[in-house]
Amino acid sequence: MTRQHDQATTDDRILAARQARRRAAEDRFLSRQERRSREAEALVGEICREGQPVFYINRRDRRGNLTGKTAEFPGALGFGAALGFLIQHNYV
């Protein structure tokens, strides 16, 4: 006795499996982004210059050694800019 598969049911299962894979990949991506943001927050320092916060990071060379230079991100949006810099340049 052979079992007949309904084409619509098979297509629905295929689409559901694809959607589940997409959701899983998106969850992995978001958790990776959150982890990188948390790690980057620890690398950002803050100083106060003329009453305004200035966020800074210590620059590194290609091998990951500290160079003694800093990158400064002034203003209210400086913290987010510093995080973006760290993530974009693979500091974390």
Least confident range from 8-12, 20-24, 85-89: namely 8-12
Per-residue H/E/C for the chain: CCCCCCHHHHHHHHHHHHHHHHHHHHHHHHHHHHHHHHHHHCCCEEEEECCEEEEEEEEECCCCCEEEEEEEEECCCHHHHHHHHHHHCCCC
pLDDT of amino acid 44: 94
pLDDT of 81 strictly over 60 = yes
Per-residue b/e over 72-88, b at no fewer than 16 CB within 10 Å? ebeeeebeebbbebbee
18-74 pLDDT, tens digit per residue, is 999 999 999 999 999 999 999 999 999 999 999 899 999 999 888 888 899 999 999
Sheet strand arrangement including 52-60: 45-49, 52-60, 66-74
pLDDT of amino acid 10: 85
pLDDT of amino acid 1: 47
63-79 pLDDT, tens digit per residue, is 888 899 999 999 889 99
